[in-house]
Structure 1
C-alpha cells in the first residue's frame, strides 16, 4: 500500500477540513477538541490554522487518510520545542506505516527549522498511541491528572517527549 505525505498550503483548506473533521468525528475521545468546535470555524480561521503552523497529510490513492501538525513554541527561550498535534490515521491504515511516515515528515521539518524537541499529550486510555510513540522513541515525562473531560469523566493525559537532535 502506497502512502505519500504532503505539507499542506493555503490552497489545501478543503483537504485539511475533510481529514480534520473525519478525525474528530471518527475518534472523538482521542482529541481535546470536538468536531463541533471545528465545524463552526469561519473560512479564514481554517486558512490561518493550515498556514500558521505546518500541517502534514498522508494520502493513499489521492485521498487524505491521515494528519499530523506541529505547533512551535513562540517564546525566544523555547523556540527549540514544538508540540505534535492533530495525530490521526484512518482506521483501515493503522499499522501500515502511515503514522510513522507522518511523524518522520514532521520530525524532518522540525529539524530543518531548528527544533530540537518534540512534545505531545496523549490520553492515558489510548494504549495503542502510547505504544506507537514509545516505539518512535518518545519518553513519558509526566502525567496531567484529569487532563481532559470525556463523556463527563476526567481522563489523565500522558506527556511524552522526544529529542530529535544528536
Structure 2
C-alpha cells in the first residue's frame, strides 16, 4: 500500500474515489453524490487543490481517501478539519485509515497546524472507536446536526492536538 498526496493532475483519481465514497456510503457524508456529480472538471480541481487530499493505493487501485481543510482566518490557521474519510469495505480493518491519518497528520504538523478536528455521526460506533484510539476526544455534540432522509442524527465533534499534547503512543507514519 502507498499513500499519495494528490495534486491538480490527479483530478480523475479524486473524482473516482470521492464519487465511490458518496455512492457506497451515502449516510456517512453531509454531501451527496448528486452534489458532486454536477461539478465541472475545473470545480473538481479547485476542490482538490483547496484542501490536502490523500489517497491510499494498492497497486494503482484507490482504497481510501482522507482530506484536510485548513482554517483560513489568521487566528484560526492552526486548526484544520478532517474531511471526506472513506475506506473501501474490503480494506477496512487493514490499517488503511490509520496510514491515511498518519500521513495527513504529518502533513498538517509540517504546515503549522496544531489542532485537528472532525465531525462523526453519533450512530457510527466503528468510526468513533477508531478516532478515539487515534487520540481524538469528544468536544461537543450537535443534536440533530444531520438529516438522514427524514431522520435527524446527532453529530459528535472531536479534536486532537498534534503539537505534542494529547498524543497517542506511536504517533507518526506507520511502517
TM-score range normalised by the length of the shorter chain: over 0.9
Which aligned pairs between 1:59-98 and structure 2 lie closer than 5 A? 59-98=57-96
Question: What runs of 5+ residues in structure 2 fail to find an aligned partner?
Answer: 165-175
**What is the Cα deviation at residue 103 of structure 1?**
0.2
User: RMSD across aligned C-alpha pairs, in angstroms?
Assistant: 0.5
Partner of 1:142: 140
- TM-score with structure 1 setting the length: 0.98
- TM-score with structure 2 setting the length: 0.93
**What is the Cα deviation at residue 151 of structure 1?**
1.7
Aligned pair count reads 164
The 4+ residue runs of structure 1 with deviation greater than 4 A are none
- Which residue, 99, 104, 110 being the options, matches 1:112? 110
Partner of 2:13: 15
Distance 1:52 1:145 in 2: 29
**What is the Cα deviation at residue 11 of structure 1?**
0.6
Question: What runs of 5+ residues in structure 1 fail to find an aligned partner?
Answer: none
Partner of 2:29: 31
**What is the Cα deviation at residue 119 of structure 1?**
0.1
SS in 1 for 2:9: coil
Partner of 2:45: 47
